[in-house]
């Protein structure tokens, strides 16, 4: 299919075109980059991007489904990107998030609701990195015109944390009995929360998790610390206690209300523009370094092994080697007519 057909399809709200466009991004096809170049001006300013993160098994997919249902009852359309890890050995993956999406056998179906689009993707085998892929998928979904876009990802490791930084509002989900404080802190996901959720609050220990979070939030270092938008003083990070299972639901309305309040806050204070500018900046930074790195190594006149030999034989130092590689690349390449898609 041609890029123009897909663009027209997306503008006409054709699901097949939307699905195919996302596949181009997922499969790192050249058409994906061309598509983004053509549709970026049509992103909806008012799209609200919500990140949901936390360790495996805390109930992120279950909660996402309840959040989707709530938004649908409010007449909002929802696009979802659910990211699951893949096996480091085979590259294969079981993308299990969709399993939790409410279906007809349990009540009303989010699977067939025309206001819901759900996409499962795996986190591996992407040279350009997870956050670039996620950012591009969100761009496409925003052009399609969803009111809310939800990204679900397992909050383990830096690349996963980076993914959540593309969100306007990030929700960090915890549950009772999950490791000690050090483990939370180490994962680096506490710092990015705009909202904390203690899910499975039907289980013992939920109150303890909440107390721990409250103590941490009262700790001034945290609140004055490196908040990505410098908002810690104005936005009081809420802690919402939830139960995601149908037979025992709790806290979903409150959670959705907090998520929307956070967006209203971003909009009314003008901080949304800052958040998005920051995101754009980090996107550009990653792209520039990805392209430069790839330019250097795809250039056949640069023989990395040769340089490595010289450095290890103490013929030259590593700084000189790096300078030589970049110099050689810059002088020998047609930097004027750079075609990015050859290097990504």
Partner 1 sequence: MNGDLKMNMVLNRNKIKVLVAKPGLDGHDRGARVLCRFLRDSGYEVIYTGLHKTAEEVANAALQEDVDVLGMSFLSGAHESYVPRILDILKKNGVDLNDMVILVGGTIPEEQFKKMIDLGVDGVFIPGAPMDEISDFIDLKIKEKRDKSSDQHYFVGTKLIKAEDLV
Ligand X SMILES: Nc1nc2c(ncn2[C@@H]2O[C@H](COP(=O)(O)OP(=O)(O)O)[C@@H](O)[C@H]2O)c(=O)[nH]1
Out of Mg ion, ligand X, partner 1, none, what residue 58 binds, judged by CB under 5 to 8 A for its kind, is ligand X
Is 47 one of the binding residues for Mg ion (CB under 5 A)?
A: no
- Binding residues among 250-279 for ligand X as defined by CB under 6 A: none
Query: What minimum distance in Å lies between the beta carbon of 58 and ligand X?
Result: 4
Q: Which does 86 bind (CB under 5 to 8 A by kind): partner 1, ligand X, Mg ion, none?
A: partner 1
104-136 burial code (b ≥16 CB/10 A, e <16): eeeeeebeebeebbbbbbbbeebebbbbbbbbb
For 86, other C-beta atoms within 10 Å of its C-beta total 17
β 78-84/48-54 pair status: unpaired
Q: Residue 54's beta-bridge partner residues?
A: 154
Partner whose binding site includes residue 56, from partner 1, ligand X, Mg ion, none (CB under 5 to 8 Å by kind): ligand X
Rounded Cα distance between 299 and 308, Å, is: 16
User: What minimum distance in Å lies between the beta carbon of 149 and partner 1?
Assistant: 14
- Interface residue with ligand X among 14, 202, 229, 274 (CB under 6 A) is 202
- What is the DSSP secondary-structure string of 3-59? HHHHHHHHHTT-HHHHHHHHHHHHTT-HHHHHHHHHHGGG--TTPEEEEEEESTTSS
Q: Does 83 bind ligand X (CB under 6 A)?
A: no
Residue 193 corresponds to which tokens in the numbers above?
A: 């929360």
244 binds ligand X (CB under 6 A): yes
145 versus 205: smaller Cβ distance to partner 1: 145
Residues 58 and 24: their CA atoms lie apart, in Å, by 31
Question: What would the x/- binding string for Mg ion be over residues 69 to 108, using CB under 5 A?
Answer: ----------------------------x-----------
- Return residues touching partner 1 (CB under 8 A): 14-16, 19-20, 22-23, 26-27, 86-87, 89-96, 98-99, 103-105, 109, 111-112, 117-120, 122, 124-125
Strand partners, 240: 197
61 binds Mg ion (CB under 5 A): yes
Distance CA 341, CA 260 (A): 37
CB 175 to partner 1: min, Å: 22
**Closest approach of Cβ 160 to partner 1, in Å?**
18
Among 159, 167, 149, residue whose Cα is nearest residue 188: 159
Which residue is closest to Mg ion by CB?
61
Which of 67, 243, 272, 325 is the binder for ligand X (CB under 6 A)? 243
Q: Which residues bind ligand X (CB under 6 A)?
A: 54, 56-62, 97, 100, 199-200, 202-203, 243-245
């Amino acid at each position: 299919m041609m890029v123009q057909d897909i663009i027209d399809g997306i503008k006409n709200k054709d699901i097949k075109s939307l699905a195919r466009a996302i596949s181009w991004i997922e499969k790192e096809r050249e058409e994906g980059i061309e598509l983004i170049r053509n549709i970026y001006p049509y992103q909806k300013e008012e799209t609200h991007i919500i990140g949901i993160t936390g360790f495996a098994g805390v109930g992120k997919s279950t909660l996402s489904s309840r959040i989707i249902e709530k938004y649908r009852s409010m007449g909002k359309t929802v696009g979802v990107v659910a990211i699951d890890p893949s096996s480091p050995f085979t590259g294969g993956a079981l993308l299990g998030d969709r399993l939790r999406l409410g279906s007809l056998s349990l009540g009303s179906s989010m699977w067939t609701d025309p206001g819901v689009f759900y996409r499962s993707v795996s986190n591996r085998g992407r040279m350009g990195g997870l956050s670039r892929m996620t950012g591009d998928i969100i761009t496409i979904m925003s052009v399609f015109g969803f009111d809310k876009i939800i990204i679900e990802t397992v909050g383990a490791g830096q690349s996963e944390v980076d993914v959540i930084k593309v969100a306007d509002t990030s929700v960090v989900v915890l549950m009772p009995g999950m490791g000690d404080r050090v483990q939370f802190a180490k994962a680096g996901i506490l710092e990015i929360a705009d909202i904390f959720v203690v899910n499975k609050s039907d289980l013992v220990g939920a109150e303890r998790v909440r107390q721990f979070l409250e103590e941490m939030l009262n700790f001034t270092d945290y609140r004055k610390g490196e908040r990505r938008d410098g908002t810690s003083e104005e936005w009081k990070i809420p802690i919402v206690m939830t139960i995601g299972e149908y037979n025992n639901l709790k806290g979903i309305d409150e959670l959705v209300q907090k998520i929307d309040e956070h967006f209203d806050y971003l909009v009314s204070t003008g901080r949304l523009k800052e958040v998005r500018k920051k995101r754009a900046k980090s996107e550009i930074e990653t792209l520039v370094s990805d392209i430069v790195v790839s330019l250097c190594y795809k250039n056949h006149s640069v023989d990395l092994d040769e340089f490595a030999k010289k450095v290890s034989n103490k013929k030259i130092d590593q700084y000189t080697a790096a300078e030589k590689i970049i110099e050689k690349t810059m002088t020998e390449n047609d930097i004027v007519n750079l075609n990015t898609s050859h290097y990504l």
